[in-house]
Amino acid sequence: MNIKMERFKIDLTEIEGEGDFPCPHCGEIISPDDDSGMVYDIIESTEADGELEKVTIKCKKCGSAIQLEGFSLFKEIGNSEKIFDIEDYLNLQEKFMSF
Ligand SMILES: [Zn+2]
Protein backbone atom coordinates (compact mmCIF):
# COMPACT_ATOMS: atom_id res chain seq x y z
CA MET A 1 0.00 0.00 0.00
CA ASN A 2 1.61 3.18 -1.11
CA ILE A 3 -0.99 5.83 -1.74
CA LYS A 4 0.62 9.08 -2.72
CA MET A 5 -1.42 12.15 -2.00
CA GLU A 6 -1.02 15.04 -4.36
CA ARG A 7 0.77 17.77 -2.51
CA PHE A 8 1.60 21.20 -3.82
CA LYS A 9 3.44 24.17 -2.50
CA ILE A 10 2.52 27.78 -3.07
CA ASP A 11 4.66 30.71 -2.08
CA LEU A 12 2.39 33.65 -1.39
CA THR A 13 5.16 36.06 -2.24
CA GLU A 14 4.97 34.78 -5.82
CA ILE A 15 1.28 35.15 -6.46
CA GLU A 16 -0.56 38.29 -7.41
CA GLY A 17 -3.77 39.58 -5.97
CA GLU A 18 -5.19 39.34 -2.51
CA GLY A 19 -4.11 35.90 -1.46
CA ASP A 20 -6.37 33.90 -3.71
CA PHE A 21 -4.95 31.43 -6.21
CA PRO A 22 -6.06 28.61 -8.46
CA CYS A 23 -5.65 25.08 -7.16
CA PRO A 24 -2.47 23.78 -8.85
CA HIS A 25 -4.24 20.55 -9.66
CA CYS A 26 -7.80 21.35 -10.73
CA GLY A 27 -7.75 25.12 -11.16
CA GLU A 28 -10.47 25.82 -8.61
CA ILE A 29 -10.00 29.33 -7.26
CA ILE A 30 -9.12 29.14 -3.60
CA SER A 31 -9.64 32.32 -1.68
CA PRO A 32 -8.54 32.63 1.93
CA ASP A 33 -11.47 34.92 2.47
CA ASP A 34 -13.94 32.23 1.49
CA ASP A 35 -14.96 30.76 4.81
CA SER A 36 -17.98 28.94 3.46
CA GLY A 37 -16.11 25.67 3.90
CA MET A 38 -17.16 24.68 0.39
CA VAL A 39 -13.85 25.22 -1.40
CA TYR A 40 -11.13 24.25 1.00
CA ASP A 41 -10.38 22.91 4.44
CA ILE A 42 -7.50 24.00 6.59
CA ILE A 43 -5.63 20.87 7.54
CA GLU A 44 -2.98 22.44 9.69
CA SER A 45 -1.17 25.66 10.37
CA THR A 46 2.36 25.90 11.66
CA GLU A 47 3.73 28.80 13.61
CA ALA A 48 7.34 29.69 14.25
CA ASP A 49 8.20 32.17 16.98
CA GLY A 50 4.52 32.98 17.28
CA GLU A 51 4.20 33.95 13.65
CA LEU A 52 2.37 32.08 10.96
CA GLU A 53 4.83 30.07 8.93
CA LYS A 54 2.93 27.51 6.91
CA VAL A 55 -0.67 26.63 6.31
CA THR A 56 -1.73 23.39 4.71
CA ILE A 57 -5.12 23.39 3.08
CA LYS A 58 -7.02 20.79 1.16
CA CYS A 59 -8.87 21.54 -2.04
CA LYS A 60 -12.32 20.06 -1.63
CA LYS A 61 -12.83 19.70 -5.34
CA CYS A 62 -9.88 17.43 -6.12
CA GLY A 63 -8.55 16.56 -2.68
CA SER A 64 -5.06 17.96 -3.23
CA ALA A 65 -3.12 19.17 -0.24
CA ILE A 66 -1.59 22.59 -0.79
CA GLN A 67 1.04 24.02 1.48
CA LEU A 68 1.12 27.78 1.67
CA GLU A 69 4.25 29.65 2.56
CA GLY A 70 5.50 33.20 2.38
CA PHE A 71 3.38 34.78 5.07
CA SER A 72 6.18 37.15 5.97
CA LEU A 73 4.92 39.15 3.01
CA PHE A 74 1.88 40.17 5.00
CA LYS A 75 3.60 41.21 8.18
CA GLU A 76 3.43 44.83 7.21
CA ILE A 77 -0.26 44.78 6.48
CA GLY A 78 -2.36 46.26 9.20
CA ASN A 79 -1.00 46.71 12.64
CA SER A 80 2.68 45.84 12.63
CA GLU A 81 2.62 45.48 16.40
CA LYS A 82 0.39 42.53 16.00
CA ILE A 83 1.58 39.10 15.03
CA PHE A 84 0.27 37.87 11.73
CA ASP A 85 -1.72 34.76 12.40
CA ILE A 86 -4.20 32.50 10.70
CA GLU A 87 -7.08 34.84 11.45
CA ASP A 88 -5.26 37.67 9.75
CA TYR A 89 -4.69 35.52 6.72
CA LEU A 90 -8.36 34.62 6.52
CA ASN A 91 -9.27 38.28 6.80
CA LEU A 92 -6.66 39.37 4.30
CA GLN A 93 -9.00 40.38 1.52
CA GLU A 94 -11.01 42.53 3.87
CA LYS A 95 -7.84 44.33 4.81
CA PHE A 96 -6.92 44.92 1.20
CA MET A 97 -10.36 46.25 0.42
CA SER A 98 -10.30 48.68 3.30
CA PHE A 99 -7.17 50.38 1.98
ZN1 LIG B 1 -8.17 21.21 -6.59
Q: Summarize pLDDT for 68-90 with one digit per residue, the tens.
A: 998 876 665 554 556 667 777 77
Between the CA of 81 and the centroid of ligand 1 the distance, in Å, is 35
Please, which residues have CB less than 5 A from ligand 1, an ion? 23, 25-26, 28, 59, 61-62, 64
Q: What is the reported pLDDT for 99?
A: 45
- How far is residue 86's CA from residue 17's CA, in Å, rounded to a whole number? 18
Between the CA of 95 and the centroid of ligand 1 the distance, in Å, is 26
Give the number of residues written for the chain: 99
Closest-CA residue to 33 (of 99, 72, 89, 98): 89
**pTM greater than 0.85:** no
- How far is residue 61's CA from residue 39's CA, in Å, rounded to a whole number? 7
